Amino acid sequence: MIYALFFLQESLKILPILTHSCMIKGRILLAGGYTMKKRVVVALGHRALGTTLPEQLEAVKKSAKVIADLIQNGYQVAITHSNAPQVGMIHTALNEFAKQHEDYTAAPMCICSAMSQGYIGYDLQNNIREELLDRGIFRTVSTVLTSVVVDPYDEAFYTPTKVLGRYLNAEEANLERKKGNYIVEEPGKGFRRIVSAPNPVSIVEIDAIKALLDADQVVIACGGGGIPVLEQDNHLKGASAVIEKDLTAGKMAEETDADMLIILTSVEKVKIHMGRADEKDLGEITVEQAKKYMEEGHFGVYNMLPKFNASVNFVEGREGRSALITLTIN
């Protein structure tokens, strides 16, 4: 039995979630007889996708069962996903290829992000479609290549944090610096390129995503947090950055007027005071308590904190919304 953290408008409740074959069974009743509504945005983390191509093929089969359970029980579902290992592999492969073949140029981050959306979406939509057909459910599953507008003046552009690609030697690191890229050294290991992680401002293809959901179709969108773009009049220019996928998941849930946001993670239980004698599992907490815990620094900046930020912001958008942070189903 897996315990899940529910954010409600007034309070947070713990509910048991079963194994992947019956993640959500029938109706889920919350405090006061509240029934979960129909539109759900699901954010799949790294664990739900694997790292290598063979791992991904196996992982998405399990994720597809979870999604199919939701659909079978009457929910409209939009899915977003991580792309951290995949986009790094694509970036490394294309840039290493360019080094060996002078007629080719290095691939910018926006292109790598788009490619990762394509091949992860391909695996997801095929496996979800197959799982639905096996259950006698005929539903179109589509992947929307999605751009997400970011603010060029976002402070994140001045303080890059996300590592990208393989380790570099000193010579390679200097070449990257000459291109204007940020480089950090990890003692004893080498150098790594780092990129910015700006906040999502708006989703360019949101009308298409909403139209597909309104037509009761299954949508995979905003993969890897979306392709980060800057608005330049009518032109969208790709940014050398990555967007935190949980924040974009919250944005998509808000802009599609979803009733629930589900964020799958590798953590079995959310904790505060980790590693201390007073370590505590979070069960039922209020949104105000969640904000307090965030301010006190209980959650990792690059893992759990974005999940709490996305959840709290989404829930506060309108009455009746809820968010769930739960262990990825294996």
* Pairing mode, strands 200-203 and 76-81: unpaired
In the chain, the N- to C-terminal Cα span, in Å, equals 12
What does the pLDDT average to over 114-125? 94
Average pLDDT, the chain: 82
pLDDT per residue as tens digits for the range 158-168:
989 888 878 88
Beta strands, E only, the chain: 2-7, 12-17, 39-44, 76-81, 141-144, 147-150, 162-168, 182-186, 190-195, 200-203, 218-221, 227-232, 235-238, 260-265, 271-272, 280-281, 322-327
What does the pLDDT average to over 105-134? 93
Q: Global pTM?
A: 0.83
Neighbours of 249 (CB within 10 A): 33
| The predicted structure's pLDDT at residue 22 | 22
pLDDT per residue as tens digits for the range 189-231:
999 988 899 999 999 999 999 999 999 999 999 999 999 999 9
The pair of three-digit structure tokens given for residue 245, joined into one six-digit string: 């996928």
Dist CA 241 CA 228 (whole Å): 7
pLDDT per residue as tens digits for the range 229-282:
999 999 999 998 999 999 999 999 999 999 999 988 777 677 788 778 777 877
pLDDT per residue as tens digits for the range 123-147:
999 999 999 999 999 999 999 999 9
The one-letter amino acid code at 25 reads K
User: Which DSSP category does 157 fall into?
Assistant: G
Give Cα 252 distance to the centre of its chain: 11
Contact 125, 142 (CB under 8 A): yes
What does the pLDDT average to over 67-75? 92
Dist CA 224 CA 86 (whole Å): 9
| The predicted structure's pLDDT at residue 244 | 92
**What domains lie within the chain, and their CATH numbers?**
2-161+196-327 (3.40.1160.10)
Nearest to 43 by CA among 75, 5, 81: 81
Q: What percent of the chain has pLDDT over 90?
A: 43
Choose between 302 and 196: higher pLDDT: 196
